[in-house]
């Protein structure tokens, strides 16, 4: 497919190149300077060539390439360059299109003086006094520097490229007179510069919207500054003129490809914790190229103003506030491609609002969404404290009550990273760790990470309770007991199956190992189940279930005080914060407990019907498993179940025999047979 050759160096040229690239149309872009190359990013379908060309060199370039057309998108004041491009195109026999800039009126204000040329402007300024802000670039700077008195009054705003700075120095402009910045600039930025340098006169070209012309004029009016406007030298009559839409139509005709017109490019950008040193280069590039910046005020403040003085900054971070602004900006903008950046703290994929924002932006017409990741506070704290985090659990306390889940994980995991909402969360963590018998844990507390006030301390739970400084905290809880067990204990198995002698039992009855494992299998547990273990005994069933998932919660209900003490002892032995021991007799002891998803009934003390009635009232769709050792109990359960709607009902009998050594022989010794009854309640949803 034939290519399009664009001579650029302007905002309009960059916009055209971006549109063609997004539409899959190949283009070669010629820019005069290295800075022009720097701001014209590489694309999938375009190549960029840097350097000034003579008319003859332009013709040779055109003849070597397989081009469908030439587009002249150079600056409106680059009259000689445009003439050379036009002549070279004619000699190469290629269609030539001039992409013109739409001009803006400065009004009829008496403080706006139009002049035909730079020389006329110099003569007019020589009749004035006071500081001058020159915004016409570096190319014609020499015109203003020949008069030493005039040169000393100048403050020149030029592009921040090496070539521009060298021209300033060559013409005797001192460092204090140079303002090297990339425009266009907002009215506020222009106004600040006019005040900062006590400007009396501003010189500008008739540069149009993309050159920030109206913002210069409005700022000058507010500051009481007179403006000299150098008129656009391009002839108004007798010369071919095209706007962007007309040129796009011609390129469609020549290439046979449909071109996507206005586009909204939205970048979801993670900026880490706030220190600009931790913002990735990719994120910085997106921010610097944005037309509109969104984010919480704290995040907007973290982005240096000089990174992008032209972009409007809006302190919004919710989709309901951002989407209307995007629609409005897209309509008002004269740009073919509009860039918006939405800032997020930390990393976009880590407890971030970026996911919801992505969902809200999906399906929007002519909108492209990309994600730029950042550095999370967890990875930062891990690095600063010398820890890894690939083997840790991570909990966020933002917005929801996750404290219970956090304490469960802290009791069962060697490392848990915590994203907190402030110092009150850290104090509560210390308090809850102590209450759950986890005094041996240490808490590495990261305060104001990446900021000058950063502090990283390793504290005990008691010391956490004494913290007072408000601010942002990320913590690492390390359970030294779990760490020691990993070094000195057997490997963790993928299934439940602790031997009977792994439990403290004294004289309290305990469900035997094989029956225990079969009964737990019949429970059909889910990772976040809420389980009642009624008649818990030694807590062996509760302990084995709780060890399966730290998101699972078991309520061990037991009426005998000595058994309650054993359950607590066994839970402490295995560091289980997700077992809650309830001393009392069911069903009364069930009052006030969270709604269960599962129940295991190992003992009912004659209150089985009442217990089942209460369970059915709490959750008419729950899973229940009952164990029994007598036929009478099995008969009673079967009779009671006739009064409830149940499904997937199953009754099995287990007989287990164990080998006992008798001298050189092994004799099988039978355990008492046990019945396991399992079912789901099949009722409807409670009203």
**Residues 64-91: tens digit of each pLDDT:** 989 999 999 988 778 889 999 999 999 9
Q: Rounded mean pLDDT of 89-115?
A: 79
By the 10 Å C-beta count (0-12 exposed, 13-18 middle, 19+ buried), 468 is classed as: exposed
DSSP per-residue letters across 464-506: HTT----S-EEEEEE-HHHHHHHHHSPPPPSS----GGGS--T
Q: Which residues of 641-666 are buried (b: 16+ CB within 10 A; e: fewer)?
A: beebebeeeeeeebeeeeeeeeeeee
Supply the pLDDT for residue 241: 54
Residue pLDDT, tens place only, 516-548:
999 999 999 998 899 999 999 999 999 999 988
User: What's the first-to-final CA gap in the chain, in angstroms?
Assistant: 68
Residue 387: is its pLDDT beyond 60?
A: yes
The reported pLDDT for the residue numbered 687 is: 34
Give the pLDDT of residue 228. 94
Q: What's the rounded Cα separation, in Å, for the pair 580 and 77?
A: 79
Alpha-carbon distance of 131 to 540, in angstroms, equals: 87
Q: CATH number for 112-230: choose from 3.40.50.720, 3.40.50.2000, 3.90.1300.10, 3.40.50.2300.
A: 3.40.50.720
Task: Judge whether 620 and 646 are in contact, CB under 8 Å.
Answer: no
- Note the pLDDT tens digit of each residue in 116-160: 889 999 999 999 999 999 999 888 899 999 999 999 999 999 988
Worst-scoring range by mean pLDDT, 31-40, 249-258, 674-683?
31-40
Residue-wise DSSP of 609-677: HHHHHHHHHH-TT-EEEEEESSHHHHHHHHHHHTTS-EEEEEEEEE--EEEEEETTEEEEEEPPPEEEE
Q: Is the pLDDT at 62 greater than 80, yes or no?
A: yes
pLDDT tens figures, 342-386: 999 999 999 899 999 999 998 887 788 999 999 999 999 999 999
| pLDDT band of 108, cuts 50, 70, 90 | low
Rounded CA-CA distance 391/379 in Å is: 12
pLDDT of residue 683: 81
| 199 has pLDDT over 60 | yes
Read off the pLDDT band of 193 (50, 70, 90): very high
Q: What share of the chain is helix, strand, coil (3-state, %, to 5)?
A: 35, 25, 40
Fold topology of 500-681: Rossmann fold (3.40.50)
User: 10 Å Cβ neighbour count for 206?
Assistant: 20
* 3-state SS, residue 159: coil
The pLDDT of residue 239 is: 46
Q: What angle (nearest 5°) sits at the alpha carbon of residue 502, between those of residues 435 and 556?
A: 45
CB 133 within 8 A of CB 193: yes
Peptide bond into 559 cis (omega under 30): no
**Distance set, CA 499 to CA 149, 492, 523, 562 (Å):** 97, 14, 19, 22
CA distance 614 to 608: 10
* The residue count for the chain: 687
| The 3-state secondary structure of 88-141, one letter per residue | HHHHHCCCEEEECCCCCCCCCCCCEEEECCHHHHHHHHCCCCCEEEECCCCCCH
Q: Is 35:163 a contact under the CB 8 Å cutoff?
A: yes
Q: Binning pLDDT at 50, 70 and 90, where does residue 336 land?
A: low
pLDDT tens digits, residue range 297-334?
Answer: 989 999 998 888 888 899 999 999 999 998 887 666 65
Sign of the alpha-carbon torsion through 658, 661, 665, 670: negative
Strand partners, 229: 114, 204
The phi-psi region of residue 386 (left if phi > 0; otherwise alpha if psi is between -120 and 50; otherwise beta) is left
Tally of CB atoms within 10 A around 367: 16
Strand, helix or coil for residue 459: strand
Q: How confident is the model at residue 237 (pLDDT cuts 50, 70, 90)?
A: very low
How many Å apart are CA 35 and CA 37, to the nearest integer? 5
Confidence grade of residue 26 (pLDDT, cut at 50, 70, 90): very high
Cβ neighbour number for residue 521 with a 10 Å cutoff:
14
pLDDT at 109: 64
Nearest to 82, CA basis, from 93, 92, 68, 97 = 97
Sign of the CA dihedral 376, 382, 388, 389? negative
> Which of 19, 41, 10, 92 minimizes the C-alpha distance to 249?
19
Weakest-pLDDT range from 104-118, 185-199, 599-613: 104-118
592-604 burial code (b ≥16 CB/10 A, e <16): eeeebbbbbbbbb
Q: pTM higher than 0.85 for the full model? A: no
Sign of the CA dihedral with 179 first, then 182, 185, and 189 last: negative
Q: Does residue 585 surpass a pLDDT of 50? A: yes
Q: What is the pLDDT of residue 140?
A: 87
Residue 439 CA, chain-centre distance (Å), reads 35
Confidence band of 438 (pLDDT split at 50, 70, 90): confident
686: confidence class by pLDDT, cuts 50, 70, 90: very low
- H helix intervals, 492-622: 513-522, 540-546, 561-573, 608-618
Q: How far from the centroid of its chain's Cα atoms is residue 342's Cα?
A: 9
Collect all residues with Cβ–Cβ distance below 8 Å to 592 and sequence separation of at least 6: none
> Out of 230-239, 589-598, 654-663, which region has the weakest mean confidence (pLDDT)?
230-239
Mean pLDDT over 622-631 rounds to 92
Return the pLDDT at 287.
Answer: 93
Q: What is the DSSP letter of 305?
A: G
Domain 378-487: CATH superfamily is Tetrapyrrole methylase, C-terminal domain (3.30.950.10)
What does the pLDDT look like over 440-463, one tens digit per residue? 899 999 999 998 899 999 999 999
pLDDT band at 592 (very low <50, low <70, confident <90, very high): very high
Residue 35 banded pLDDT, cuts 50, 70, 90: low
Q: Count Cα atoms within 13 angstroms, Cβ side, for 2.
A: 18
Q: What strand order describes the sheet that includes 367-372?
A: 312-314, 292-294, 337-344, 263-270, 367-372
Give yes or no on whether 3-100+243-255 and 263-375 have one common fold.
Answer: no
What integer pLDDT is reported at residue 512 of this predicted model?
82
CATH architecture of the domain with residue range 3-100+243-255: 3-Layer(aba) Sandwich (3.40)
Q: Mean pLDDT score of the chain, rounded to an integer?
A: 88
Domain ranges in the chain are 3-100+243-255, 112-230, 263-375, 378-487, 500-681
pLDDT for res 483: 61
DSSP code at position 346 = B
| Paired sense of beta strands 665-670 and 657-662, if any | antiparallel
Distance CA 496, CA 548 (A): 7
Does the pLDDT value for residue 400 go beyond 70? no
Which residue has tokens 């009624």?
534
**For the domain 263-375, what is the CATH superfamily, name and number?**
Tetrapyrrole methylase, N-terminal domain (3.40.1010.10)
């Amino acid at each position: 497919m034939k290519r399009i050759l664009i001579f650029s160096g302007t905002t309009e040229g960059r916009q055209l190149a971006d549109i063609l690239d997004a539409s899959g149309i190949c283009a070669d872009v010629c820019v005069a300077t290295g800075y022009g190359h720097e701001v014209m990013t590489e694309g999938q379908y375009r190549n960029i060539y840097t350097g000034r060309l003579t008319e003859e060199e332009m013709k040779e370039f055109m003849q070597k390439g397989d081009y469908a057309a030439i587009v002249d998108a150079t600056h409106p004041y680059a009259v000689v360059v445009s003439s050379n491009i036009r002549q070279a195109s004619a000699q190469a026999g290629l269609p030539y299109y001039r992409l013109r800039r739409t001009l803006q009126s400065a009004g009829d204000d008496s403080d706006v003086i139009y002049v035909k040329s730079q020389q006329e402007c110099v003569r007019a300024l020589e009749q004035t006094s006071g500081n001058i802000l020159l915004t016409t670039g570096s190319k014609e700077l020499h015109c203003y520097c020949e008069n030493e008195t005039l040169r000393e009054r100048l403050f020149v705003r030029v592009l921040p490229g090496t070539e521009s700075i060298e021209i300033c120095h060559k013409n005797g402009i001192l460092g204090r007179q140079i303002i090297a910045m990339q425009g266009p600039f907002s009215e506020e930025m222009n106004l600040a510069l006019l005040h900062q340098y006590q400007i009396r006169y501003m010189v500008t070209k008739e540069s149009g919207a993309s050159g920030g012309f109206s913002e210069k004029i409005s700022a000058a009016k507010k500051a009481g500054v007179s403006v000299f406007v150098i008129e656009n030298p391009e002839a108004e009559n007798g010369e071919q003129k095209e706007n962007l839409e007309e040129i796009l139509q011609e390129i469609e005709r020549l290439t046979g490809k449909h071109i996507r017109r206005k586009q909204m490019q939205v970048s979801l950008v993670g900026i880490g914790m706030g220190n600009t040193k931790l913002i990735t280069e990719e994120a910085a590039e997106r921010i610097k190229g944005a037309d509109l910046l969104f984010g919480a005020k704290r995040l907007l403040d973290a982005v240096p103003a000089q990174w992008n003085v032209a972009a409007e900054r809006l302190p919004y971070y919710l989709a309901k506030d951002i989407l209307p602004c995007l629609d409005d900006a897209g309509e008002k903008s004269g740009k073919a491609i509009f860039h918006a950046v939405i800032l997020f703290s930390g990393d976009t994929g880590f407890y971030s609002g970026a996911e919801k924002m992505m969902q809200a932006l999906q399906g929007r017409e002519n909108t492209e969404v990309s994600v730029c990741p950042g550095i999370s506070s967890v990875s930062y704290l891990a690095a600063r404290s010398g820890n890894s985090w690939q083997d840790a659990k991570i909990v966020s306390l933002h917005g929801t009550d996750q404290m219970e889940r956090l304490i469960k994980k802290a009791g069962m995991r060697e490392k848990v990273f915590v994203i907190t909402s402030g110092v009150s969360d850290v104090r509560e963590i210390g308090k809850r760790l102590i209450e759950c018998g986890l005094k041996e844990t240490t808490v590495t507390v990261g305060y104001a990470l990446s900021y000058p006030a950063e502090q990283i301390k390793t504290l005990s739970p008691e010391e956490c309770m004494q913290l007072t400084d408000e601010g942002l905290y990320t913590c690492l809880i390390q359970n030294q007991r779990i760490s020691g067990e990993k070094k000195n204990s057997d490997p963790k198995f993928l299934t439940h199956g602790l031997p009977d002698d792994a439990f403290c039992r004294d004289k309290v009855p305990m469900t035997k190992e094989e029956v225990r494992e079969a009964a737990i299998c019949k429970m059909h547990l889910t990772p976040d189940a809420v389980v009642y273990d009624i008649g818990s005994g030694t807590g062996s069933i509760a302990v084995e279930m709780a060890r399966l998932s730290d998101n699972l919660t078991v309520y061990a209900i037991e009426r005998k005080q000595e058994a309650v003490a054993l359950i607590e002892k066994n839970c402490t032995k295995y560091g289980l914060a997700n077992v809650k021991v309830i001393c009392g007799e069911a069903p009364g002891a069930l009052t006030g407990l969270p709604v269960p998803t599962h129940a295991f009934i190992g003992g009912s003390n004659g209150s089985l019907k009442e217990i089942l009635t209460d369970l059915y009232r709490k959750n008419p769709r729950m899973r229940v498993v009952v164990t029994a050792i007598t036929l009478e109990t099995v008969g009673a359960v079967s009779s009671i179940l006739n009064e409830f709607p149940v499904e997937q009902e199953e009754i099995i009998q287990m007989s287990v025999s164990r080998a006992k050594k008798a001298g050189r022989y092994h004799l099988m010794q039978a355990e008492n047979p046990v019945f396991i009854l399992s079912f789901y309640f099949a009722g409807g949803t409670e009203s």
